[in-house]
Chain A
Amino acid sequence: QNAASPIMEELIAFHDHALMIIFLISSLVLYIISLMLTTKLTHTSTMNAQEIEMIWTILPAMILIMIALPSLRILYMTDEFNKPYLTLKAIGHQWYWSYEYSDYEDLAFDSYIMPTYFLEPGEFRLLEVDNRTTLPMEADIRVLISSQDVLHSWAVPSLGVKTDAIPGRLNQAMVASMRPGLY
């Protein structure tokens, strides 16, 4: 899915970056395997190999640094706490979500999945719900996620958020959508 929040854009860019590194490493490994399979040379009395050991220590370290630095940057970015415009509580039940907007008015509702036989043409199977959660766009929204019974997980792929709903624990996620839409 396309990114609808700045965090998801960063995640997609990081994924592309990591995938390119993985592709290059895989190509190198495939090439080395083909070399090993096609050589007639053997060396059964290797005593020390300082140069190759230096290479295969320093090179993976550099690759890991190249992957770790953007990863840590995004990790700290997701933990940034901006002053939220709105707070939404999402509580997991078996098997529905209940939402509470308690900032301005006491507004709470349950959100059940729409059974397949109730769907209109064009609606998404297993994704439609009876009461949608409406949130303002271009605003930092704090989502407090918990559970009433067992472990659940609250996720919106295009906004780059996935947080576990754990009974007895309140997890916080920040959500900011860049454009209007159905997510």
Chain B
Amino acid sequence: MAAVPEPDEPAKRKPFKLLGILDVENIPCARDSILYGSLGSVVAGFGHFLLTSRIRRSCDVGVGGFILVTLGCWFHCRYNYAKQKIQQRITRQGMKNKLLYEGTHLDPERKQNNGNSSN
């Protein structure tokens, strides 16, 4: 379905996918979650190693830390992303209503001003 690129246009490169499945470039919050997860993994694993000097167990703690931190960041970021999308939708609808109904009896600002003056 994509159009053939013009000669002077740079060719679209394929998106980079972690393990061949996770498109970190285009999925919102994926890149941040993976990066924070990697940082958490390094901190947890290295910290455990410094305390215990056990290599294999520190690797296990590192992997566990990666999974937990990635999951935690993912849910937190997606929750905020969903709130932002809802807010954008409300704003877009408000702007559209303002443009459509300005000067009429359905003007949202007129309703708001009437409400304030009656109070």
Tell me whether chain A's interface is mostly helix, strand or loop, or mixed. helix
Is chain B's interface secondary structure helix, strand, loop, or mixed overall? helix
Task: State the CA gap A122–B66 with chains docked (Å).
Answer: 46
A28 touches B67 (CB 8 A): yes
Does A27 sit at the interface, judged by CB under 8 A? yes
Which range holds the interface residue count of chain A? 10 to 19
Say whether B71 contacts A24, CB under 8 Å: yes
B1–A16 contact, CB under 8 A?
no
Shortest beta-carbon distance, A49 to chain B, in Å? 17
- Pairwise interchain contact A20-B74, C-beta atoms closer than 8 A: yes
In chain A, residues 22-49, which have Cβ atoms closer than 8 Å to a Cβ of chain B?
22-24, 26-28, 30-31, 35
Interface size on B, residues (CB 8 A): 22
Residues on A with C-beta less than 8 A from B30 are 16, 20
Contact status A24-B27, CB under 8 Å? no
Residue B28 at the chain A interface, CB threshold 8 Å: yes
Instruction: Return chain A residues, CB-CB under 8 Å to B21.
Output: 19, 22-23, 26
Most buried by B among A17, A24, A26, A28: A24
Whether A112 sits at the interface, judged by CB under 8 Å, is no
Task: Determine the chain B residues whose CB is within 8 A of the CB of A27 once the complex forms.
Answer: 19, 63, 66-67
Residues of B within 8 A of A20 (CB): 22, 27, 30, 33, 70-71, 74
Query: Contact between B82 and A13 (Cβ–Cβ < 8 Å)?
Result: yes
**B67 and A16 contact, CB distance less than 8 A:** no
Is A69 an interface residue when CB atoms closer than 8 A count as contact? no
Contact check: which of A22, A24, A127 meets B67 at CB < 8 Å?
A24
Total CB contacts across the A-B interface at under 8 A: 42
Q: Within 8 Å of chain B (Cβ to Cβ): is A124?
A: yes
Q: B51 on the interface (CB 8 Å rule)?
A: no
**Bound-state Cα–Cα, A35 to B60, Å:** 9
A124 surroundings in chain B (CB, below 8 A): 1
CA distance A28 to B70 in the complex (A): 13
A13-B78, A24-B67, A124-B1 are known contacts. Are A19 and B19 too (CB-CB below 8 A)? Answer: no
Given contacts A20-B33, A127-B1, 12 further A-B contacts (CB under 8 A): A16-B27, A16-B29, A19-B21, A20-B27, A20-B30, A20-B70, A24-B67, A27-B63, A27-B67, A28-B63, A28-B67, A30-B19
Q: Which 10 A-B pairs have the closest CB atoms?
A: A23-B22, A16-B27, A31-B63, A24-B67, A20-B74, A26-B19, A19-B22, A124-B1, A23-B21, A23-B19
Q: List 30 A-B contacts (CB under 8 A).
A: A9-B85, A16-B27, A16-B28, A16-B29, A16-B30, A16-B78, A19-B21, A19-B22, A19-B27, A20-B22, A20-B27, A20-B30, A20-B70, A20-B71, A22-B21, A23-B18, A23-B19, A23-B21, A24-B67, A26-B19, A26-B21, A27-B19, A27-B63, A27-B67, A28-B63, A28-B67, A30-B19, A35-B56, A122-B3, A127-B1
